[in-house]
Amino acid sequence: MHGWLLARLLVAASVSGKVVWTSAVPPLTVRAPTDPHVCGRQGPVARLRVQAGPGGVIPAAVVFIDPPVAPPAPPGDARIRVRNCQFGPRILVLAAGSTLSVENDDPLLHNVHVRDESGRSIANYTLPLRGQRTPPIVLTRPGAYRIESDAGHFWMNAWVWVVAHGSATQTDEQGRFRLYAPPGRYSIVAWHPDLGITRATVVLSNAAEAAVELLF
């Protein structure tokens, strides 16, 4: 699924919109002090990687309906790659029960440490060689999972948002999203690992489309 869980209900209204970053604070960057021959190929690495597009739109943000209304999406398989000492994609949305693997594309040792929201270690693997991949990691409990490196690359992190319903998606490159729900009053919530949570309330009527802009 690679982050896209869009469960369309048979009889539903829709809500669409954008997620926008309104702050003028620039991303924080740091030059890679470890393994710069690989990690520094792309220039300074970002510690705050909002990567807002024109007009401040935010790609890859997680958006969901609260309370959720769509049935559970089927589990899937996803892969994150480590390239130039960065995890990519950095943000994923997966259904509960999905499996995740991480592959090393760099010619140096990387560590993959997965923790749940409480900080509990879920998986911890060392990948010393290019082309090595972790065993499948099954993510069963809903919530945000953080993936980081314990091999000296402190800037490396990725996030997986696991959901037990189909009322979630991610924004596209233009910061846009669309979700479906029966008529009613809902909170539309956006989450980004660098920005936190923002929400807006919408009222959906039968077979109509509502528009909302979620601002950080």
Per residue in 100-121, pLDDT (tens digit) is: 999 999 999 999 999 999 999 9
Are 61 and 170 spatial neighbours (Cβ–Cβ below 8 Å)?
yes
Q: What are the backbone angles phi and psi of residue 114, rounded to the nearest 5°? A: -105, 130
**Is the bond preceding 72 in cis, omega lying within 30 degrees of 0?**
no
What integer is the mean pLDDT of 23-37?
73
Domains and CATH numbers, the chain: 13-215 (2.60.40.420)
What span, in angstroms and rounded, lies between the C-alpha atoms of 121 and 178? 33
Under the banding of pLDDT at 50, 70 and 90, the label for residue 40 is confident
- Residue scoring higher pLDDT (109 or 21): 109
Confidence grade of residue 11 (pLDDT, cut at 50, 70, 90):
very low
Q: What residue has token string 């490196």? A: 149
What is the tens place of the pLDDT at every residue in 153-188?
988 999 999 999 999 999 999 999 999 999 999 999
Measured CA distances, 70 to 8, 148, 163, 166 (Å): 8, 31, 11, 5
